[in-house]
Structure 1
Amino acid sequence: MWYYLIIALQGFCIYHAIKNRRPYYWIFIIFFLSLLGCIIYIITQVYSKRDAEKISSEITNIINPTKKIRDLEKQVEFSDTYQNRVNLADAHLENKDYQNALKHYQNALDGNFQNDFYVIKNMIEAYHHIEDYKSVVSYGEQIKSHPEFKKSRTQFLYGLALEKEGEIAKAEENLKAIDIRFSFYNERLVYANFLLNINKKDEAKEILESLISEGQHMTKPNKKLYGTTISEAKKLLEVL
Protein backbone atom coordinates (compact mmCIF):
# COMPACT_ATOMS: atom_id res chain seq x y z
CA MET A 1 0.00 0.00 0.00
CA TRP A 2 2.78 2.46 0.93
CA TYR A 3 4.52 1.80 -2.39
CA TYR A 4 1.43 2.78 -4.38
CA LEU A 5 0.84 5.80 -2.15
CA ILE A 6 4.37 7.06 -2.82
CA ILE A 7 3.98 6.49 -6.58
CA ALA A 8 0.70 8.41 -6.51
CA LEU A 9 2.29 11.24 -4.55
CA GLN A 10 5.22 11.40 -6.99
CA GLY A 11 2.79 11.53 -9.91
CA PHE A 12 0.87 14.39 -8.34
CA CYS A 13 4.01 16.37 -7.51
CA ILE A 14 5.42 15.99 -11.03
CA TYR A 15 2.04 16.98 -12.50
CA HIS A 16 1.90 20.02 -10.20
CA ALA A 17 5.47 21.03 -11.11
CA ILE A 18 4.79 20.84 -14.85
CA LYS A 19 1.41 22.55 -14.63
CA ASN A 20 2.79 25.41 -12.55
CA ARG A 21 6.01 25.70 -14.59
CA ARG A 22 8.35 24.99 -11.74
CA PRO A 23 12.08 24.66 -12.60
CA TYR A 24 12.81 21.38 -14.38
CA TYR A 25 15.19 20.16 -11.66
CA TRP A 26 12.20 19.59 -9.35
CA ILE A 27 11.13 16.63 -11.50
CA PHE A 28 14.50 14.97 -10.89
CA ILE A 29 14.30 15.69 -7.15
CA ILE A 30 10.82 14.19 -6.93
CA PHE A 31 11.73 11.18 -9.08
CA PHE A 32 15.10 10.26 -7.57
CA LEU A 33 14.50 11.18 -3.91
CA SER A 34 11.09 9.51 -3.90
CA LEU A 35 9.12 10.28 -0.71
CA LEU A 36 11.74 12.72 0.60
CA GLY A 37 11.70 14.61 -2.68
CA CYS A 38 7.90 14.83 -2.57
CA ILE A 39 7.95 16.16 0.98
CA ILE A 40 10.56 18.80 0.09
CA TYR A 41 8.57 19.83 -2.97
CA ILE A 42 5.26 20.07 -1.13
CA ILE A 43 6.72 22.08 1.77
CA THR A 44 8.58 24.53 -0.45
CA GLN A 45 6.39 24.76 -3.55
CA VAL A 46 2.86 23.67 -2.76
CA TYR A 47 1.83 23.77 0.82
CA SER A 48 -1.21 25.69 1.94
CA LYS A 49 -4.31 24.41 3.66
CA ARG A 50 -6.25 24.50 0.42
CA ASP A 51 -3.54 22.73 -1.55
CA ALA A 52 -3.06 20.12 1.17
CA GLU A 53 -6.76 19.26 1.01
CA LYS A 54 -6.56 19.00 -2.78
CA ILE A 55 -3.52 16.69 -2.60
CA SER A 56 -5.25 14.44 -0.10
CA SER A 57 -8.37 14.28 -2.25
CA GLU A 58 -6.50 13.48 -5.47
CA ILE A 59 -4.35 10.78 -3.88
CA THR A 60 -7.51 9.20 -2.43
CA ASN A 61 -9.10 9.26 -5.89
CA ILE A 62 -6.07 7.49 -7.41
CA ILE A 63 -6.05 4.76 -4.76
CA ASN A 64 -9.83 4.38 -4.54
CA PRO A 65 -11.43 5.49 -7.83
CA THR A 66 -14.88 4.21 -6.81
CA LYS A 67 -14.98 6.85 -4.05
CA LYS A 68 -14.47 9.53 -6.66
CA ILE A 69 -17.34 8.11 -8.70
CA ARG A 70 -19.64 7.97 -5.64
CA ASP A 71 -18.82 11.56 -4.82
CA LEU A 72 -19.54 12.66 -8.38
CA GLU A 73 -22.82 10.72 -8.40
CA LYS A 74 -23.86 12.66 -5.31
CA GLN A 75 -23.01 15.89 -7.08
CA VAL A 76 -25.22 14.90 -10.02
CA GLU A 77 -28.06 13.98 -7.65
CA PHE A 78 -27.75 17.35 -5.95
CA SER A 79 -27.37 19.34 -9.17
CA ASP A 80 -27.77 17.58 -12.52
CA THR A 81 -25.83 20.12 -14.56
CA TYR A 82 -24.02 19.54 -17.82
CA GLN A 83 -20.58 19.82 -16.23
CA ASN A 84 -21.41 17.53 -13.30
CA ARG A 85 -22.69 14.92 -15.72
CA VAL A 86 -19.54 15.17 -17.87
CA ASN A 87 -17.31 14.94 -14.79
CA LEU A 88 -19.07 11.73 -13.79
CA ALA A 89 -18.72 10.32 -17.31
CA ASP A 90 -15.02 11.21 -17.30
CA ALA A 91 -14.54 9.30 -14.04
CA HIS A 92 -16.22 6.20 -15.50
CA LEU A 93 -14.05 6.48 -18.62
CA GLU A 94 -10.92 6.74 -16.48
CA ASN A 95 -12.11 3.67 -14.57
CA LYS A 96 -12.61 1.79 -17.88
CA ASP A 97 -16.37 1.49 -17.28
CA TYR A 98 -17.16 2.40 -20.85
CA GLN A 99 -20.88 1.65 -20.84
CA ASN A 100 -21.59 3.95 -17.90
CA ALA A 101 -19.29 6.58 -19.35
CA LEU A 102 -21.25 6.53 -22.61
CA LYS A 103 -24.56 6.72 -20.78
CA HIS A 104 -23.60 9.89 -18.94
CA TYR A 105 -21.91 11.49 -21.96
CA GLN A 106 -25.07 10.88 -23.98
CA ASN A 107 -27.21 12.40 -21.23
CA ALA A 108 -24.99 15.46 -21.32
CA LEU A 109 -25.34 15.75 -25.10
CA ASP A 110 -29.11 15.53 -24.84
CA GLY A 111 -29.07 19.13 -23.59
CA ASN A 112 -27.88 22.06 -25.65
CA PHE A 113 -24.34 20.87 -26.25
CA GLN A 114 -24.78 18.63 -29.26
CA ASN A 115 -21.52 19.76 -30.88
CA ASP A 116 -19.29 19.55 -27.81
CA PHE A 117 -15.99 18.31 -29.22
CA TYR A 118 -14.63 17.20 -25.83
CA VAL A 119 -17.60 14.96 -25.05
CA ILE A 120 -17.79 13.41 -28.51
CA LYS A 121 -14.02 12.82 -28.50
CA ASN A 122 -14.35 10.86 -25.26
CA MET A 123 -17.35 8.97 -26.56
CA ILE A 124 -15.28 7.88 -29.56
CA GLU A 125 -12.62 6.62 -27.14
CA ALA A 126 -15.24 4.60 -25.23
CA TYR A 127 -16.89 3.21 -28.36
CA HIS A 128 -13.46 2.14 -29.62
CA HIS A 129 -12.84 0.12 -26.47
CA ILE A 130 -16.17 -1.72 -26.73
CA GLU A 131 -15.52 -2.28 -30.46
CA ASP A 132 -18.59 -0.39 -31.65
CA TYR A 133 -16.92 0.84 -34.81
CA LYS A 134 -20.09 2.06 -36.49
CA SER A 135 -20.62 4.51 -33.65
CA VAL A 136 -16.98 5.62 -33.82
CA VAL A 137 -17.44 6.43 -37.51
CA SER A 138 -20.77 8.13 -36.91
CA TYR A 139 -19.49 10.43 -34.17
CA GLY A 140 -16.22 10.95 -36.01
CA GLU A 141 -18.19 12.33 -38.94
CA GLN A 142 -19.72 14.90 -36.60
CA ILE A 143 -16.43 16.39 -35.44
CA LYS A 144 -13.96 15.71 -38.26
CA SER A 145 -14.10 19.36 -39.37
CA HIS A 146 -13.08 20.56 -35.91
CA PRO A 147 -9.51 21.95 -35.78
CA GLU A 148 -8.58 19.75 -32.80
CA PHE A 149 -9.59 16.61 -34.69
CA LYS A 150 -6.71 16.91 -37.14
CA LYS A 151 -3.61 14.89 -36.25
CA SER A 152 -5.12 13.65 -32.99
CA ARG A 153 -5.71 10.28 -31.36
CA THR A 154 -9.39 10.78 -32.14
CA GLN A 155 -8.63 10.91 -35.85
CA PHE A 156 -6.50 7.79 -35.43
CA LEU A 157 -9.40 5.91 -33.78
CA TYR A 158 -11.71 7.15 -36.53
CA GLY A 159 -9.29 5.74 -39.09
CA LEU A 160 -9.17 2.36 -37.35
CA ALA A 161 -12.95 2.23 -37.29
CA LEU A 162 -13.11 3.05 -41.01
CA GLU A 163 -10.79 0.10 -41.64
CA LYS A 164 -13.10 -2.20 -39.67
CA GLU A 165 -16.01 -0.92 -41.73
CA GLY A 166 -14.18 -1.69 -44.96
CA GLU A 167 -13.41 1.92 -45.92
CA ILE A 168 -9.73 1.23 -46.56
CA ALA A 169 -8.85 4.36 -48.57
CA LYS A 170 -10.49 6.66 -46.02
CA ALA A 171 -8.88 4.69 -43.22
CA GLU A 172 -5.43 5.19 -44.70
CA GLU A 173 -6.01 8.90 -45.18
CA ASN A 174 -6.89 9.37 -41.50
CA LEU A 175 -4.27 7.01 -40.08
CA LYS A 176 -1.56 8.73 -42.10
CA ALA A 177 -2.31 12.00 -40.31
CA ILE A 178 -0.73 10.75 -37.07
CA ASP A 179 2.57 9.81 -38.74
CA ILE A 180 4.44 12.61 -36.99
CA ARG A 181 8.05 12.23 -35.87
CA PHE A 182 8.73 11.93 -32.13
CA SER A 183 5.06 11.41 -31.28
CA PHE A 184 2.28 8.81 -31.56
CA TYR A 185 4.76 5.93 -31.21
CA ASN A 186 2.15 3.23 -30.47
CA GLU A 187 -0.25 4.53 -33.08
CA ARG A 188 2.43 4.67 -35.77
CA LEU A 189 3.32 1.04 -35.12
CA VAL A 190 -0.34 0.17 -35.69
CA TYR A 191 -0.29 2.27 -38.85
CA ALA A 192 2.78 0.39 -40.10
CA ASN A 193 0.93 -2.90 -39.60
CA PHE A 194 -2.05 -1.47 -41.46
CA LEU A 195 0.19 -0.59 -44.41
CA LEU A 196 1.63 -4.09 -44.44
CA ASN A 197 -1.88 -5.53 -44.52
CA ILE A 198 -2.66 -3.52 -47.66
CA ASN A 199 0.65 -4.47 -49.29
CA LYS A 200 2.42 -1.14 -48.90
CA LYS A 201 5.65 -2.61 -47.66
CA ASP A 202 7.95 0.30 -48.52
CA GLU A 203 5.80 2.85 -46.66
CA ALA A 204 5.56 0.54 -43.65
CA LYS A 205 9.32 0.00 -43.66
CA GLU A 206 9.92 3.75 -43.66
CA ILE A 207 7.74 4.22 -40.58
CA LEU A 208 9.40 1.35 -38.71
CA GLU A 209 12.86 2.72 -39.48
CA SER A 210 11.79 6.14 -38.19
CA LEU A 211 10.45 4.64 -34.97
CA ILE A 212 13.70 2.76 -34.37
CA SER A 213 15.78 5.84 -35.09
CA GLU A 214 13.68 8.01 -32.79
CA GLY A 215 13.94 5.38 -30.07
CA GLN A 216 17.68 5.96 -29.93
CA HIS A 217 17.12 9.60 -28.96
CA MET A 218 14.41 9.09 -26.36
CA THR A 219 14.70 10.26 -22.78
CA LYS A 220 14.86 7.53 -20.12
CA PRO A 221 11.18 7.99 -19.12
CA ASN A 222 10.09 7.66 -22.75
CA LYS A 223 12.28 4.61 -23.24
CA LYS A 224 10.41 2.97 -20.37
CA LEU A 225 7.06 4.00 -21.79
CA TYR A 226 7.70 3.05 -25.40
CA GLY A 227 10.48 0.45 -25.15
CA THR A 228 8.09 -2.37 -26.06
CA THR A 229 6.82 -0.42 -29.07
CA ILE A 230 10.35 0.15 -30.38
CA SER A 231 11.20 -3.53 -29.80
CA GLU A 232 8.11 -4.58 -31.76
CA ALA A 233 9.12 -2.23 -34.58
CA LYS A 234 12.57 -3.86 -34.72
CA LYS A 235 11.08 -7.36 -34.82
CA LEU A 236 8.68 -6.40 -37.56
CA LEU A 237 11.40 -4.75 -39.63
CA GLU A 238 13.62 -7.84 -39.37
CA VAL A 239 11.05 -10.02 -41.13
CA LEU A 240 10.39 -7.60 -43.99
Structure 2
Amino acid sequence: MFVPIIGSIIYLITQVYNKRDAEKITSEITHIINPTKKIKDLEKQLQFSKTYQNRFNLADAFLEIKDYNNAIPHYLEAIEGNMQNDFYVIKQLIEAYFNIKNFDNVILYAEKIKDHPEFKKSKSQFLYGLALEKLDKFEEAETNLRAIDIRYSFYNERFVLAKFLISRNKETEAKEILEEIYSESQHMTKPNKKLFRATIQDVEKLLASKNI
Protein backbone atom coordinates (compact mmCIF):
# COMPACT_ATOMS: atom_id res chain seq x y z
CA MET A 1 0.00 0.00 0.00
CA PHE A 2 2.84 2.39 0.84
CA VAL A 3 5.13 1.35 -2.05
CA PRO A 4 3.37 3.48 -4.73
CA ILE A 5 3.45 6.53 -2.41
CA ILE A 6 7.15 6.08 -1.66
CA GLY A 7 7.82 5.56 -5.35
CA SER A 8 6.03 8.80 -6.19
CA ILE A 9 8.03 10.75 -3.59
CA ILE A 10 11.31 9.33 -4.91
CA TYR A 11 10.28 10.22 -8.48
CA LEU A 12 9.43 13.79 -7.46
CA ILE A 13 12.73 14.25 -5.65
CA THR A 14 14.96 12.68 -8.32
CA GLN A 15 13.15 13.89 -11.43
CA VAL A 16 10.95 16.93 -10.85
CA TYR A 17 13.08 18.86 -8.38
CA ASN A 18 16.35 18.02 -10.10
CA LYS A 19 14.87 19.01 -13.43
CA ARG A 20 13.78 22.34 -12.00
CA ASP A 21 17.23 22.90 -10.52
CA ALA A 22 18.84 21.97 -13.82
CA GLU A 23 16.61 24.38 -15.70
CA LYS A 24 17.42 27.16 -13.25
CA ILE A 25 21.16 26.53 -13.52
CA THR A 26 20.93 26.35 -17.33
CA SER A 27 19.04 29.64 -17.39
CA GLU A 28 21.64 31.33 -15.17
CA ILE A 29 24.51 30.08 -17.34
CA THR A 30 22.72 31.32 -20.47
CA HIS A 31 22.29 34.76 -18.91
CA ILE A 32 25.99 34.92 -18.04
CA ILE A 33 27.06 33.90 -21.56
CA ASN A 34 24.43 36.04 -23.25
CA PRO A 35 23.54 38.99 -20.98
CA THR A 36 21.37 40.60 -23.66
CA LYS A 37 19.00 37.63 -23.38
CA LYS A 38 18.68 38.33 -19.67
CA ILE A 39 17.81 41.96 -20.47
CA LYS A 40 15.19 40.91 -23.02
CA ASP A 41 13.65 38.41 -20.61
CA LEU A 42 13.45 41.02 -17.85
CA GLU A 43 11.99 43.59 -20.25
CA LYS A 44 9.26 41.09 -21.14
CA GLN A 45 8.56 40.49 -17.45
CA LEU A 46 8.27 44.24 -16.87
CA GLN A 47 5.91 44.64 -19.83
CA PHE A 48 3.76 41.84 -18.47
CA SER A 49 3.77 43.19 -14.90
CA LYS A 50 5.05 46.67 -14.09
CA THR A 51 5.95 45.90 -10.49
CA TYR A 52 8.61 47.60 -8.42
CA GLN A 53 10.63 44.38 -8.25
CA ASN A 54 10.54 43.74 -12.00
CA ARG A 55 11.69 47.28 -12.72
CA PHE A 56 14.42 47.03 -10.12
CA ASN A 57 15.63 43.69 -11.53
CA LEU A 58 15.86 45.19 -15.01
CA ALA A 59 17.80 48.21 -13.73
CA ASP A 60 20.24 45.91 -11.95
CA ALA A 61 20.72 43.88 -15.13
CA PHE A 62 21.61 47.04 -17.05
CA LEU A 63 24.03 48.01 -14.27
CA GLU A 64 25.70 44.58 -14.48
CA ILE A 65 26.54 45.11 -18.15
CA LYS A 66 27.62 48.72 -17.48
CA ASP A 67 24.72 50.19 -19.43
CA TYR A 68 24.32 52.99 -16.91
CA ASN A 69 22.22 55.28 -19.07
CA ASN A 70 19.51 52.63 -19.34
CA ALA A 71 19.80 51.60 -15.70
CA ILE A 72 19.27 55.09 -14.28
CA PRO A 73 15.72 55.78 -15.58
CA HIS A 74 14.50 52.45 -14.18
CA TYR A 75 16.07 53.12 -10.78
CA LEU A 76 14.49 56.57 -10.73
CA GLU A 77 11.08 55.18 -11.62
CA ALA A 78 11.44 52.45 -9.00
CA ILE A 79 12.10 55.09 -6.35
CA GLU A 80 9.22 57.24 -7.58
CA GLY A 81 6.84 54.30 -7.43
CA ASN A 82 7.88 53.41 -3.91
CA MET A 83 6.38 55.20 -0.92
CA GLN A 84 9.73 55.19 0.86
CA ASN A 85 13.15 55.85 -0.66
CA ASP A 86 14.72 52.44 -1.05
CA PHE A 87 18.25 52.46 0.37
CA TYR A 88 19.50 49.73 -1.94
CA VAL A 89 18.08 51.36 -5.07
CA ILE A 90 19.74 54.66 -4.18
CA LYS A 91 23.05 52.86 -3.63
CA GLN A 92 22.81 51.44 -7.14
CA LEU A 93 21.81 54.83 -8.50
CA ILE A 94 24.90 56.42 -6.92
CA GLU A 95 27.11 53.85 -8.66
CA ALA A 96 25.43 54.45 -12.02
CA TYR A 97 25.71 58.23 -11.78
CA PHE A 98 29.37 57.99 -10.74
CA ASN A 99 30.21 55.89 -13.77
CA ILE A 100 28.74 58.46 -16.15
CA LYS A 101 30.64 61.19 -14.25
CA ASN A 102 27.49 62.92 -13.03
CA PHE A 103 29.07 63.89 -9.72
CA ASP A 104 26.38 66.39 -8.76
CA ASN A 105 23.78 63.61 -8.70
CA VAL A 106 26.15 61.27 -6.86
CA ILE A 107 26.29 63.86 -4.08
CA LEU A 108 22.56 64.59 -4.28
CA TYR A 109 21.54 60.97 -3.75
CA ALA A 110 24.35 60.12 -1.32
CA GLU A 111 23.13 62.88 0.95
CA LYS A 112 19.67 61.31 0.97
CA ILE A 113 21.05 58.16 2.60
CA LYS A 114 24.22 59.29 4.38
CA ASP A 115 22.53 59.00 7.79
CA HIS A 116 21.57 55.39 7.12
CA PRO A 117 23.65 52.96 9.24
CA GLU A 118 24.60 50.87 6.17
CA PHE A 119 25.99 53.90 4.36
CA LYS A 120 28.90 54.15 6.77
CA LYS A 121 32.07 52.42 5.52
CA SER A 122 30.34 51.37 2.28
CA LYS A 123 31.21 51.63 -1.39
CA SER A 124 28.53 54.32 -1.67
CA GLN A 125 30.34 56.47 0.90
CA PHE A 126 33.58 55.95 -1.00
CA LEU A 127 31.99 57.07 -4.30
CA TYR A 128 30.50 60.03 -2.44
CA GLY A 129 34.00 60.97 -1.30
CA LEU A 130 35.38 60.71 -4.83
CA ALA A 131 32.54 62.86 -6.18
CA LEU A 132 33.27 65.49 -3.54
CA GLU A 133 36.92 65.47 -4.62
CA LYS A 134 35.90 66.04 -8.25
CA LEU A 135 34.00 69.13 -7.14
CA ASP A 136 37.02 70.39 -5.14
CA LYS A 137 35.42 69.76 -1.75
CA PHE A 138 38.62 68.23 -0.46
CA GLU A 139 38.05 68.21 3.30
CA GLU A 140 34.65 66.55 2.98
CA ALA A 141 36.10 64.17 0.43
CA GLU A 142 38.91 63.11 2.76
CA THR A 143 36.51 62.49 5.64
CA ASN A 144 34.42 60.12 3.53
CA LEU A 145 37.33 58.42 1.78
CA ARG A 146 39.05 57.71 5.09
CA ALA A 147 35.96 55.83 6.28
CA ILE A 148 36.98 52.81 4.17
CA ASP A 149 40.50 52.61 5.63
CA ILE A 150 39.79 49.28 7.30
CA ARG A 151 42.46 46.62 7.61
CA TYR A 152 42.19 43.43 5.55
CA SER A 153 39.52 44.90 3.30
CA PHE A 154 38.88 47.59 0.64
CA TYR A 155 42.34 47.12 -0.91
CA ASN A 156 41.54 48.95 -4.16
CA GLU A 157 39.77 51.77 -2.35
CA ARG A 158 42.57 52.21 0.18
CA PHE A 159 45.08 52.47 -2.65
CA VAL A 160 42.96 55.24 -4.16
CA LEU A 161 42.83 56.90 -0.73
CA ALA A 162 46.64 56.79 -0.52
CA LYS A 163 46.93 58.48 -3.92
CA PHE A 164 44.42 61.10 -2.80
CA LEU A 165 46.51 61.82 0.31
CA ILE A 166 49.64 62.16 -1.82
CA SER A 167 47.82 64.73 -3.96
CA ARG A 168 47.05 66.62 -0.74
CA ASN A 169 50.73 66.55 0.31
CA LYS A 170 50.12 64.00 3.06
CA GLU A 171 52.81 61.56 1.98
CA THR A 172 53.52 60.18 5.46
CA GLU A 173 49.90 59.13 6.01
CA ALA A 174 49.70 57.76 2.48
CA LYS A 175 52.85 55.69 3.04
CA GLU A 176 51.39 54.17 6.21
CA ILE A 177 48.32 53.00 4.28
CA LEU A 178 50.42 51.59 1.43
CA GLU A 179 52.71 49.74 3.83
CA GLU A 180 49.69 48.27 5.63
CA ILE A 181 48.24 47.03 2.33
CA TYR A 182 51.57 45.50 1.36
CA SER A 183 51.95 43.83 4.76
CA GLU A 184 48.41 42.42 4.58
CA SER A 185 49.06 41.12 1.07
CA GLN A 186 51.71 38.77 2.48
CA HIS A 187 48.97 36.92 4.38
CA MET A 188 46.29 36.82 1.67
CA THR A 189 44.66 33.62 0.55
CA LYS A 190 45.53 32.49 -3.00
CA PRO A 191 42.17 33.63 -4.43
CA ASN A 192 42.61 37.10 -2.90
CA LYS A 193 46.20 37.33 -4.12
CA LYS A 194 44.94 36.64 -7.62
CA LEU A 195 41.99 39.03 -7.26
CA PHE A 196 44.08 41.94 -5.96
CA ARG A 197 47.33 41.22 -7.82
CA ALA A 198 47.19 44.40 -9.90
CA THR A 199 46.48 46.57 -6.85
CA ILE A 200 49.34 45.01 -4.86
CA GLN A 201 51.70 45.59 -7.79
CA ASP A 202 50.60 49.23 -7.96
CA VAL A 203 51.20 49.57 -4.21
CA GLU A 204 54.71 48.16 -4.58
CA LYS A 205 55.49 50.49 -7.49
CA LEU A 206 54.25 53.54 -5.60
CA LEU A 207 56.22 52.62 -2.48
CA ALA A 208 59.35 52.19 -4.60
CA SER A 209 58.88 55.45 -6.47
CA LYS A 210 60.18 58.84 -5.50
CA ASN A 211 56.62 60.09 -5.05
CA ILE A 212 56.22 58.52 -1.63
**What TM-score, normalized by structure 1, do the two folds share?**
0.79
Match of 2:132 in 1: 162
Q: Secondary structure of 1:48's match?
A: helix
Cα distance in 1 for partners of 2:85, 2:78 equals 11
Match of 1:221 among 174, 191, 194: 191
Match of 1:69 in 2: 39
Matched positions, count? 195
Cα distance in 2 for partners of 1:56, 1:203 equals 50
1:138 aligns with 2:108: yes
Cα distance in 1 for partners of 2:163, 2:154 equals 14
Question: CA-to-partner distance for each residue in 1:124-164, whole Å, 9 max, x for gaps?
Answer: 00111111111100000000011110001110000000011
Q: For residue 48 of structure 2, what is the amino acid of its counterpart? A: F
**RMSD across aligned C-alpha pairs, in angstroms?**
1.2
Cα distance in 2 for partners of 1:200, 1:144 equals 26
**What TM-score, normalized by structure 2, do the two folds share?**
0.90
Deviating 4+ runs (over 6 angstroms)? none
1:151 aligns with 2:121: yes
Q: For residue 199 of structure 1, what is the amino acid of its counterpart? A: N
Match of 1:100 in 2: 70
Name structure 2 gaps, 5 residues minimum.
1-16
Match of 1:208 in 2: 178
Q: For residue 71 of structure 1, what is the amino acid of its counterpart? A: D
Q: For residue 193 of structure 1, what is the amino acid of its counterpart? A: K
Q: For residue 48 of structure 1, what is the amino acid of its counterpart? A: N
Cα distance in 2 for partners of 1:114, 1:233 equals 42
Larger Rg belongs to = 2
Alignment of 1:33-72 (within 5 A): 48-72=18-42
Cα distance in 2 for partners of 1:210, 1:51 equals 44
Match of 1:127 among 97, 107, 119: 97
Question: CA-to-partner distance for each residue in 1:174-205, whole Å, 9 max, x for gaps?
Answer: 00000001110000000000000001111100
Name structure 1 gaps, 5 residues minimum.
1-46
Q: For residue 228 of structure 1, what is the amino acid of its counterpart? A: A
Q: For residue 236 of structure 1, what is the amino acid of its counterpart? A: L
